[in-house]
Structure 1
């Protein structure tokens, strides 16, 4: 064998191994998927033909809990679990747990989609809100609305990117958000100071309806979800039982939460705006 031929073969070997790196990083082995795999086959991690796939061992921590390692900016129908995948910190295990992403630890009586399930970025800083609040604010995002869990995950990521990249927030600003599918989506969640209502972030939680509600109302399911969310906060001790509810415009120069939605919340039992001195 000539030196030139040997050099080419060595180079080819290195290229092949290098292109199999994603599989190797998952603790797997690239092989033809017609052969037996002791764990699960995963596509798009190996070089070569489409039938050459990554066999991840059943001893893989993520595969062992029925998950697949993927970048957590991608939508996960269940919940992301940390510490089960190799690679960077954003490479996490997407599982089918939490009843399709619904986290009962957040609220028992409604479907709340956890941050992990919709693929939230990690916050750059967290300030704990460790006392009951007596105020609750209603907002709208004044942007795209959504009607399914997948669609809402995309809207949420857009809102979070805007808040963090353009406005310099530590995280998505709202405590929770609601889609037209009637699901509640965890923003900063309970026990965390938000960035939703200037001067009131440490005194209140806030929910934002995804969409613009100047001329239309949110769906009945989403309105009911908002009411149930506040009651959940009361039941879990995050909100005072005698709380007062307001719209964002009650304390700021803004159209939020939209004319039609604002008219609606003014009919709710705990809406309590009479003049600015009421809110303290």
Structure 2
């Protein structure tokens, strides 16, 4: 017979697993290993939303190519130690692992040490991401909270709220301003 604490723990585990989106890990999308990693102090108090300002993707094959292109841009062209974002979100409804949960990103100067960076794959100035991508992002945020990587009292921001940029695009920005815990 299960003890009450075991039942509560199992229920919490089920909620955490059910709230997490499908994550395509680095080895699954063909990611190269990072040259360096800096541990992120968790739970992070902020989550920052981006767009990659590249092509949109609606299939796993197309999104995989986009993520590999972002990694090439960040690691080869810009000579960073790794892809900048913790996770990338495709319009195929999947989340692609960048630096992952416990690693400090390189996505927003002066904010990397205290935030998770989630980037939508594509350009979202005039059109918002589809429902599959938006749902995956919201599930990713809930997953981060349930797994202890993002504070229960987190603040959600767009990239433009922390650095001078138009990112994550006007259409996506309008959407996230309506999400829970958003604060400009």
Shared fold per TM-score greater than 0.5: yes
Distance 2:142 2:62 in 1: 26
Alignment of 1:1-280 (within 5 A): 109-273=20-184
1:269 Cα offset (Å): 1.3
SS in 2 for 1:202: helix
Change (3 A) 1:193 1:162: same
1:242 Cα offset (Å): 0.6
Distance 2:183 2:64 in 1: 33
Structure 1, residues 19-46: CA drift from partner, whole Å, max 9, x if none? Answer: xxxxxxxxxxxxxxxxxxxxxxxxxxxx
More helix by share: 2
Would the aligned equivalents of 1:106 and 1:112 in 2 still touch at CA under 8 Å? no
> Could you say which residue in structure 1 is the equivalent of 2:8?
none
Q: Which runs of 4+ in 1 moved over 4 A?
A: 105-108
Unpaired runs of 5+ residues, structure 2, are 1-15
SS in 1 for 2:173: helix
Would the aligned equivalents of 1:244 and 1:270 in 2 still touch at CA under 8 Å? yes
Distance 2:72 2:183 in 1: 33
Question: Which is greater in Rg?
Answer: 1
Change (3 A) 1:262 1:108: closer
The number of residues matched between the two structures is 169
Change (3 A) 1:111 1:157: same
Q: CA RMSD in A?
A: 1.5
Structure 1, residues 60-102: CA drift from partner, whole Å, max 9, x if none? Answer: xxxxxxxxxxxxxxxxxxxxxxxxxxxxxxxxxxxxxxxxxxx
User: Larger relative contact order (C-alpha < 8 A, sep ≥ 6)?
Assistant: 2
